[in-house]
């Protein structure tokens, strides 16, 4: 299977299946000297861990990360970083009834058409547990961004028809909500909405919003490797995501040019700023120095307890009822996944941007030359 590697200079390769021995990731291109340990990575993995509320799958997994390589005495060595999380609570028997059937909303049929074979236990590589590797790599990327003064913060903007009111929201307190919503009132309404869906053996989707602060201007390329294109590709690669927008996104189609343009100004210190940010921090595929704003649409969980119409490999029309333990909504656990894919992409784009100007290259190697070993000098005392 190709397509499990993402990135150019800072690249990640995830591996493993939902019901295999474990899930992991290999990160290449991380510079040496970054402070990193398992506890730091674990904080990110804990945010996507199952079983933390009634709105998440009851599958019991500690998702305990182990660093296998690339870190020595608390610092990255510049060599590939290998991380692993071993699976502990698989119930493969829960999926025996779909061995030869195709679940609506899942990739079962598509896998069979592509490979002629599929791991039906929990979806294999199509399972949400694949995102463990992304989140572990995202933790490393976030540590690099922190060193550069860049912060990536995502939260739940909407669950089903319930949206937050930004005037009543405090992003720093989103973690107090079981749905990771920064608006307490909206969170209560969304919890009630989800409880009704669960009573009806149904599921729901939602919207995740992410804001990046501290991003310098000039990152990204103007043609195929646009920064917004790279971010969209990264976030769209998450299994449950069905749409991505930057800034005003689809709403910009309803605006006029005068309404959509962001006027530029200089402040008293001659620092450039914008009077608005409809563009979401990216113009012409290149960062403009303002906040990057991205939203991702997350589909309802396809695994529901309602009987559904489908077909099987014998080309029979059947009815199926999906068994097993599933999230009634994946949005809260996907928040850190979206955050991680954005962090990974930004680090890769920042590293690529280091070679965009000759002056930057000369400045780097000129500084490096000052620390180089000089040529041996003749001993004048023996002349």
Domain assignment present for residue 24? The answer is yes
Residue 121 has pLDDT above 90, yes or no: no
Q: How far is CA 225 from the centre of its chain?
A: 19
Q: Reply yes or no on whether the pLDDT at 334 is more than 70.
A: yes
Q: Which residue in the block uniquely carries the two structure tokens 């949206």?
A: 163
Best-predicted range by mean pLDDT (113-127, 260-274, 353-367): 260-274
Mean local confidence (pLDDT), 82-95: 74
Q: How far is CA 48 from CA 34, 215, 333, in A?
A: 24, 25, 4
- Flag whether 306 is in a domain: yes
* Range from 93-102, 143-152, 298-307 carrying the lowest mean pLDDT: 93-102
What's the CA dihedral at 110, 114, 116, 119 to 10 degrees? -60
Residue 65 falls inside a structural domain? yes
Q: Is the pTM here over 0.95, yes or no? A: no
Structural domain contains residue 220: yes
Half-sphere exposure of 158 (CA within 13 A, CB side): 13
Residues 6+ apart with CB under 8 A from 172: 182
CA distance 255 to 299: 27
Expressed as residue numbers, the domain containing 215 is 5-357
pLDDT band, residue 60 (cuts 50/70/90): low
CA distances from 40 to 67, 125, 180, 368 (A): 11, 26, 20, 31
Q: What is the DSSP string of 328-358?
A: S--HHHHHHHHHHHHHHHHHHHHHHHTTS-H
- C-alpha closest to that of 246 among 221, 282, 274: 282
Tens digits of residue pLDDT in 157-184: 999 999 999 999 999 999 999 999 999 9
Residues 27 and 76: their CA atoms lie apart, in Å, by: 11
Per-residue pLDDT, averaged over 55-65, amounts to 75
Pairing verdict, β 292-298 and 241-246? antiparallel
CATH of the domain at 159: 3.60.150.10
Instruction: State the pLDDT at residue 128.
Output: 85
Domain-embedded: residue 44: yes
Evaluated on CA atoms 300, 131, 311, 297, the torsion sign reads positive
The tokens describing 95, both together, are 């999926």
**E-strand stretches of the chain:** 5-6, 11-16, 22-28, 65-69, 71-72, 75-76, 81-86, 151-159, 162-163, 206-213, 241-246, 264-266, 272-274, 282-283, 286-287, 292-298, 308-311, 317-320
Q: Is residue 206 part of a domain?
A: yes
Does 377 map to a domain? no
What pLDDT score does 375 carry?
Answer: 60
Number of compact structural domains in the chain: 1
Q: How many CB atoms are closer than 10 A to CB 306?
A: 10
Report d(CA 153, CA 227) in Å as an integer. 18
**Residues 274-330: pLDDT tens digits?**
999 999 999 999 999 999 999 999 999 998 888 999 999 999 999 988 876 678 899
Radius of gyration of the chain (CA): 24
Whether 349 is in a domain gets the answer: yes
């Amino acid at each position: 299977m190709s397509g499990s590697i993402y990135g150019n200079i800072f690249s990640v390769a995830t591996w493993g299946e939902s019901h295999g021995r474990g899930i992991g990731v290999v990160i290449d291109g991380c510079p040496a000297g970054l402070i990193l340990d398992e506890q730091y990575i674990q904080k990110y993995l804990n945010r996507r861990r199952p079983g933390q509320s009634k709105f998440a799958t009851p599958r019991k997994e500690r998702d305990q990360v182990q660093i296998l390589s690339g870190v020595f005495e608390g610092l990255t060595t510049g060599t590939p970083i290998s991380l692993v999380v071993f699976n502990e609570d698989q119930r493969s028997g829960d999926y025996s009834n779909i061995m030869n059937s195709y679940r609506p909303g899942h990739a079962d049929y598509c896998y069979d058409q592509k490979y002629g074979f599929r791991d039906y236990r929990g979806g294999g590589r199509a399972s949400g547990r694949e995102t463990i590797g992304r989140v572990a790599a995202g933790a490393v990327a976030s540590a690099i961004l922190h060193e550069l003064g860049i912060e990536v913060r995502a939260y739940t903007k909407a669950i089903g028809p319930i949206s937050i009111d930004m005037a009543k929201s405090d992003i720093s307190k989103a973690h107090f909500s079981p749905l990771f919503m920064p608006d307490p009132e909206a969170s209560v309404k969304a919890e009630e909405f989800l409880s009704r869906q669960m009573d009806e053996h149904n599921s729901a989707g939602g919207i995740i919003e992410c804001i990046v602060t501290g991003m310098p201007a000039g990152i990204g390329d103007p043609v195929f490797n646009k920064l917004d294109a790279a971010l969209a590709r990264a976030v769209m690669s998450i299994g449950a995501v069905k749409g991505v927008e930057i800034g005003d996104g689809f709403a910009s189609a309803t605006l006029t040019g005068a309404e959509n343009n962001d006027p530029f100004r200089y402040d008293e210190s001659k620092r450039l700023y914008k009077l608005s940010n409809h563009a979401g921090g990216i113009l012409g595929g290149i960062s403009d120095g303002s906040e990057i704003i991205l939203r991702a649409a997350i589909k309802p969980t396809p695994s529901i307890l309602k009987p559904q119409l489908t077909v099987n490999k014998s080309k029979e029309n059947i009815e199926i009822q999906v068994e097993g333990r599933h999230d009634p909504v994946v949005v809260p656990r996907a928040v850190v996944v979206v955050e991680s894919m954005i962090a990974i992409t930004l680090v890769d784009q920042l590293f690529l941007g280091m070679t965009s100007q000759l002056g930057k290259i000369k400045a780097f190697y000129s500084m490096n030359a000052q620390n180089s070993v000089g040529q041996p000098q003749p001993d004048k005392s023996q002349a």
